[in-house]
């Protein structure tokens, strides 16, 4: 049942006077439930509870924390159709997407549960003493990863489940031994409360300390700012805009005790298509990329927003074909009227530039909040000179840049901001000539896809979901997969400790 209240530890609380509702973008109307924004006192209580819980939770065995994570997964599944219906009414996304994302969320929880069943993930390292070493004895040193403390997780607008209340940030932080305070996303507060209720029930049923999890409502930026500034908070996970992520990063750096902010932000995900590939299979590539550009109404951080290729007659034919195929795919609604408005505004800014040409746009009549997919093109010289062409247009939008030669193409890659992904579409006979492109992309992205599409992020150990700034605030870490747990721990060494006082995994 949705109450509209905050979870402060195990208790529901609504002491504030500021309220708001979520919005159904498909039906273009507000949803029925009213949510109460967390007050300063409620924020402080959640942080204090999390700090107190950390002292106990960090000592709970991996097996018991795994039981907790699996219990969360079970409780999310038990929410059944209520969760799916709430998800669709708050996001406008279809039922199939809701069920798929629920499966990913549950899968991530179970994946981290499996990871922490033993302590290998903590990277225990033992360097035994050499007391008779000359000229100085060597001490006994033993190291492992330890949790850093309470974590604040910001829910993402475009993934109400997999990147939000019990998403990858929360699952990995809880797995690491860190309590979590979620700043619920205002666009899907009902979905967030239902998932929060599942986490709280699992925590109670498995004997976790109160404060291991809290869920706070917020319609603006104030709650998030207060959480990041709170001295009991020791880390932040964020998925969203560059402006939002950078503001949190700067705020955390100004604290008396600065804390890490792991923000996954904007990306236009450059796609390089070789001349030979267009000569051989331009129509196939156009069909594939029309589907990728419009998938999920373009509301993925890995949407292919920039396509780079060389000028040629084949390129001209490809661009027209890509535009026509993209414009012929049925329109669908965006997550929220604000996101729809931003899509139109930013897209118009690109199209209004004198160096760009609108290739094609969805021509049909669309209801409110439905996106009209667009393909735009520009020359390489114009792209290099005009920063407005580099911005992310969040939605079904892609800019095709026609480079005059490979030197210019490499220059464009080298001048891009950091990106989550880069993609190369090429033929086998070209493999030997791709080394410079690969090396240039490697400096700019976190993952390179070969002869595929960037949309779709596999949850596994080898996945890197991050990249040089502003794709993320720390390119050394991934936000997806088991290795994302490393964001919430730090290395800690014991020197010359008696065996009786060492953690079990560090005993000889």
Helices 222-229 + 242-253 axis angle, to 10: 30
pLDDT, one tens digit per residue, over 355-385 is 999 999 999 999 999 999 999 999 999 999 9
User: What's the confidence (pLDDT) of residue 508?
Assistant: 77
- Residue 264 annotated in active site: yes
Which pLDDT band holds residue 177 (cuts at 50, 70, 90)?
Answer: very high
Beta bridge mates, 356? 378
- Residue 301 annotated in active site: yes
User: What's the confidence (pLDDT) of residue 449?
Assistant: 98
**In degrees rounded to 5, what are phi and psi of residue 456?**
110, 120
Instruction: Count CB neighbours of 267 within 10 A.
Output: 28
Spatial distance between the Cα atoms of 42 and 44, rounded to a whole number of angstroms: 5
Find the catalytic residue in 210, 264, 392, 417: 264
Measured at the CA of 96, the angle between CA 478 and CA 334, to 5 degrees, comes to 75
Element (H, E) at 440: helix 435-442
**Domains along the sequence of the chain with CATH:** 6-127+142-265+472-506 (3.40.605.10), 270-450 (3.40.309.10)
pLDDT, one tens digit per residue, over 457-499 is 999 999 999 999 999 999 999 999 999 999 999 999 999 999 9
pLDDT, one tens digit per residue, over 68-86 is 999 999 999 999 999 999 9
Find the catalytic residue in 301, 333, 403, 417: 301
Per-residue pLDDT, averaged over 432-446, amounts to 97
Per-residue pLDDT, averaged over 181-200, amounts to 98
Residue length, the chain?
Answer: 508
Rounded percentage of the chain residues whose pLDDT exceeds 90? 99
| Lookup result for tokens 């009213």 | 34
Per-residue pLDDT, averaged over 228-243, amounts to 97
pLDDT, mean over the chain: 97
Per-residue pLDDT, averaged over 406-418, amounts to 97
Are 160 and 87 a contacting pair, CB within 8 Å?
Answer: yes
Which pLDDT band holds residue 397 (cuts at 50, 70, 90)?
Answer: very high
What is the sign, positive or negative, of the torsion defined by CA atoms of 49, 51, 52, 54? positive
Q: Is the pLDDT of residue 266 over 90?
A: no
Spatial distance between the Cα atoms of 289 and 269, rounded to a whole number of angstroms: 13
């Amino acid at each position: 049942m949705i109450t509209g209240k905050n979870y402060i530890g195990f208790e529901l609380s609504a002491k504030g006077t500021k309220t708001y509702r979520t919005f159904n973008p498909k039906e273009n109307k507000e949803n029925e439930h009213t949510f109460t924004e967390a007050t300063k006192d409620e924020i402080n209580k959640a942080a204090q509870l999390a700090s107190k819980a950390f002292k106990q939770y960090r000592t709970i065995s991996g097996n018991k924390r795994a039981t907790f994570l699996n219990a969360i997964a079970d409780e999310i599944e038990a929410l059944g159709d209520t969760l799916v219906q709430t998800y669709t009414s708050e996001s406008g996304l279809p039922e199939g997407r809701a069920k798929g994302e629920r499966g990913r969320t549950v899968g991530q929880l179970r994946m981290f549960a499996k990871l922490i069943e033993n302590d290998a993930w903590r990277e225990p390292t033992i360097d035994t003493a050499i007391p008779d070493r000359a000229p100085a004895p060597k001490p006994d040193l033993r190291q492992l990863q330890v949790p850093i403390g309470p974590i604040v997780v910001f829910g993402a607008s475009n993934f109400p489940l997999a990147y939000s209340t019990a998403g990858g940030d929360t699952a990995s932080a809880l797995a690491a031994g860190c309590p979590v305070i979620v700043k619920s996303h205002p666009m899907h507060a009902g979905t967030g409360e239902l998932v929060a209720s599942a986490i709280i029930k699992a925590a109670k049923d498995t004997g976790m300390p109160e404060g291991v999890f809290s869920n706070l409502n917020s319609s603006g930026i104030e709650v998030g700012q207060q959480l990041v500034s709170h001295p009991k908070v020791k880390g932040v996970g964020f998925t969203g805009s560059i402006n939002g992520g950078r503001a949190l990063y700067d705020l955390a750096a100004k604290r008396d005790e600065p804390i890490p902010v792991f923000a996954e932000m904007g990306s236009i995900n450059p796609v390089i298509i070789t001349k030979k590939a267009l000569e051989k299979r331009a129509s196939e590539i156009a069909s594939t990329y029309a589907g990728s550009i419009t998938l999920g109404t373009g509301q993925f951080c890995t949407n292919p927003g920039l396509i780079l290729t060389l000028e040629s007659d084949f390129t001209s034919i490809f661009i027209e074909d890509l535009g026509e195929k993209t414009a012929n795919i049925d329109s669908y609604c965006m997550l929220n009227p604000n996101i729809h408005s931003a899509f139109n505004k930013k897209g118009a800014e690109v199209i209004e530039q004198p160096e760009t040409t609108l290739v094609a746009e969805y021509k049909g009549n669309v209801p409110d909040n439905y996106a009209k997919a667009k393909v735009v093109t520009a020359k390489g010289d114009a792209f290099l000179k005009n920063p407005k062409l580099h911005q992310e247009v969040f939605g079904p939008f892609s800019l095709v840049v026609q480079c005059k030669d490979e030197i210019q193409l490499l220059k464009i890659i080298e001048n891009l901001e950091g990106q989550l992904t880069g993609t190369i579409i090429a033929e086998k006979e070209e493999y030997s000539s791709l080394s410079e492109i690969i090396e240039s992309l490697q400096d700019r992205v976190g993952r390179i896809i070969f002869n595929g599409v960037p949309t779709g992020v596999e949850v596994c150990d080898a996945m890197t979901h991050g990249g040089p700034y502003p794709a993320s605030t720390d390119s050394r870490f991934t936000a997806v997969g088991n290795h994302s747990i490393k964001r919430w721990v730090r290395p800690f060494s014991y020197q010359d400790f008696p065996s009786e006082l060492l953690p079990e995994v560090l005993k000889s």
